[in-house]
Amino acid sequence: MLIKLINPNTTAAMTELMGHTARKVAAADSEIVLATSRSGAASIEGHYDEALSVMGVIDEIRGGVPADAYVIACFGDPGLLAAREITASPVLGVAEAAMHAATFLATSFSIVTTLERTRIMSEHLVRSYGMQNHCRRVRATDVPVLELENPDSSARAVIFAECEKAVRDDQAEAIVLGCAGMSNLAKHLQERLGLPVVDGVAAAVKFAEAIVGMGLRTSKIGDLAFPLPKSYAGKLAEYAPAALVRGIDHQLAGRTAAERS
Ligand code: 2AL
């Protein structure tokens, strides 16, 4: 099956890092196609960055080879529900996938993320995903996203120290890594901490395989139905749903990419 992993930020090195993680966990017959957003912020660390990243995500879903599933690889899950509207192929967000995975492994988890403002954003996600009963606390490290790309930075040590605090002070039984750019740290942290450390990139890829493998597709009878055709004005005219729908072909939407080829 073909899984397209979309990095909603424009930093290609981060896409490669996440692609490495995805390919390590993917089944032998899964093909992981990587896409770096062609518009928007170099890193997503606020509501504004996030809102403006959504068009880049949409572009990657409506353009290129149709995939059996899509992974939105940023911990804010930018545009997740909008993306689910424009395709019937399952779309997974790394935050939602990681939180669900953690609930299978422990009755409580804490999230360790990047900046203080993204901590607050992750708290919103915990509430919108109904994870309040499972998430003990969201912890910020004040490590900027792009600092994760710098091998000389103290980011790893700072993240480890925050995970230790989550175990000691929150009594967290599992850790969820609160940035897709941390995906290469999960194994090392898990070994050092001695508890499950969940990376959303790996979780989303494995859930995508499971959902597609079960023959399941996104429901098109409610709010995730294809967007209503209408005109959009100004700079967003090209995103008008009629144009999107033309690009996606409703007839084919119910079949997998493997079936279509
Ligand atoms: C992220 C992420 O995963 N990628 C990005 O650019 N920003 N999220 C975060 N909490 O820092």
Measured from CB, residues less than 6 Å from any atom of ligand 1 are 9, 43-45, 74-76, 113-114, 118, 145, 178-181
Which atom of ligand 1 is the closest one to the Cα of 94? Answer: 3
Centre of ligand 1 from the C-alpha of residue 45, in Å: 6
Which of 175, 199, 223 lies at the terminal end of a domain, its last residue? 199
The rounded distance, in Å, linking the Cα atoms of 100 and 204 is 10
Residues 59, 142: one domain? no
Query: Tell me: the pLDDT tens digits for 131-166?
Result: 999 999 999 999 999 999 888 899 999 999 999 999
Query: What sign does the dihedral 224-255-33-208 (CA atoms) show?
Result: positive
Residues 104, 193: one domain? yes
Query: Tell me: the pLDDT tens digits for 103-121?
Result: 999 999 999 999 999 999 9
Please name the residues in contact with 118: beta carbons below 8 A apart, sequence gap of 6 or more. 45, 46, 75, 76, 140, 178, 179
Residues 87, 212: one domain? yes
Residues 189, 115: one domain? yes
Query: Tell me: the pLDDT tens digits for 22-62?
Result: 999 999 999 999 999 999 999 999 999 999 999 999 999 99
Q: Is a pLDDT exceeding 80 seen at residue 81?
A: yes
pLDDT of 64 = 81
Residues 41, 84: one domain? yes
Residues 222, 186: one domain? no
Taking residues 243-256, report their average pLDDT: 48
Residues 106, 55: one domain? no
Which of 179, 199, 219 lies at the terminal end of a domain, its last residue? 199
Q: What percent of the chain has pLDDT over 90?
A: 90
Q: Give how many domains the chain has, as a whole number.
A: 2
- For 162-176, what is the HEC assignment? HHHHHHHHCCCCCEE
The rounded distance, in Å, linking the Cα atoms of 189 and 192 is 5
Query: Tell me: the pLDDT tens digits for 206-240?
Result: 999 999 999 999 999 999 999 999 999 999 999 99
pLDDT of 242 = 74
Q: Is a pLDDT exceeding 60 seen at residue 191?
A: yes
Q: Is a pLDDT exceeding 50 seen at residue 261?
A: no
pLDDT of 243 = 54
Centre of ligand 1 from the C-alpha of residue 179, in Å: 5
Centre of ligand 1 from the C-alpha of residue 247, in Å: 29
pLDDT of 257 = 52
The rounded distance, in Å, linking the Cα atoms of 137 and 163 is 11
DSSP, res 229: P
The rounded distance, in Å, linking the Cα atoms of 219 and 226 is 10
- Structural domain of residue 237, as residue ranges? 2-94+204-260
Which atom of ligand 1 is the closest one to the Cα of 42? Answer: 6
Which atom of ligand 1 is the closest one to the Cα of 76? Answer: 8
Q: Supply the residue whose CA is at minimum distance from atom 4 of ligand 1.
A: 74
Residue type at 200 in one-letter notation:
G
Q: Is 38 helix (H, G, I), strand (E, B) or coil?
A: coil
Residues 106, 60: one domain? no
Residues 42, 126: one domain? no
User: Which candidate, 126, 95, 118, places its Cα nearest to that of 46?
Assistant: 118
Q: What is the CATH number of the domain that holds 231?
A: 3.40.50.12500
* Residue 14 pLDDT grade (very low, low, confident, very high; cuts 50, 70, 90): very high
Please name the residues in contact with 191: beta carbons below 8 A apart, sequence gap of 6 or more. none
Name the β-bridge partners of 71. Answer: 5, 92
pLDDT of 92 = 98
* Residue 244 pLDDT grade (very low, low, confident, very high; cuts 50, 70, 90): low
Which of 171, 199, 227 lies at the terminal end of a domain, its last residue? 199
Element (H, E) at 109: strand 109-113
Which atom of ligand 1 is the closest one to the Cα of 9? Answer: 6
CB 94 within 8 A of CB 73: yes
Q: Is a pLDDT exceeding 50 seen at residue 247?
A: no
Residues 189, 242: one domain? no
Residues 180, 237: one domain? no
Residues 173, 99: one domain? yes
- Mutate which of 179, 182, 199, 201 for ligand 1 pocket (most atoms within 8 A of beta carbon): 179
